[in-house]
Amino acid sequence: MIIPCIDLMDGKVVQLVQGREKALEADSPLVMLERFSAFPQIQIIDLDAAMGIGDNNSLVEMLAERAVTRVGGGVRSAERARTLIAHGAHRVIVGTAAFNEELLESIAHAIGPERLIVALDSKGGKVVVKGWRETTRVSAEEVLKHFEPYCSGFLCTYVDKEGMMEGTDLDWFRRLRAKTSHEITAAGGITTMDEIHALQDLNINAALGMAIYTGRLPLDELAHIS
């Protein structure tokens, strides 16, 4: 499955390089939602909430009401997860909160593991949290099994190449695939159709940002294979 991404900052759709430097601003969130309407799911990430510098809650909820979405960014309570589901989110993505087991358990109980995706984003070989600004001591490969009971899938971003249009690390995704039978969604640096086909051969979804916002990968071709 191909999943276009709408990343929100200050009420705008943006693309960042490695989660830090803003590379571009796109059309309004509703325009992008319409542009992605041919795809089965759309990923919505509230970057402000992820970084703890504000939120785009009303905008996120409005988008969730209008499309089949997986929503993340700053989801750090069962109440927030329930609210997103109530507003129509198909699934909820949890990153930082996943490393508080009591909190993760409460979120999984509130919405059900089938609605929960755990984000295991990697930079320099280690999982990063808090908007990719804090590095943990563990690798994604080490903790996949631990999180399986709480969720139905993983969002794994190769942050080292995020937004750089230089390709991703297919070997890393192969290692992740070998560790779990849960759904995996790959993100970070995916730039070519060859990479997408390689991920599909591994039964891994592709979440796409910069490559579609810059036109490197054409939406009509992607929608045809999604």
Task: Please list the active-site residues.
Answer: 7, 121
Q: Is residue 140 within 8 Å of residue 122, measured between CB atoms?
A: yes
Q: Is residue 19 within 8 Å of residue 159, measured between CB atoms?
A: yes
User: Nearest to residue 98, comparing CAs of 112, 116, 86?
Assistant: 116
| Residue 58 CA from chain centroid, whole number | 19
| Strands laid side by side in the 134-135 sheet | 121-123, 126-129, 134-135
- Please tell me the distance from the alpha carbon of residue 112 to that of residue 191, in angstroms, as a whole number: 33
Q: Is residue 22 within 8 Å of residue 3, measured between CB atoms?
A: no
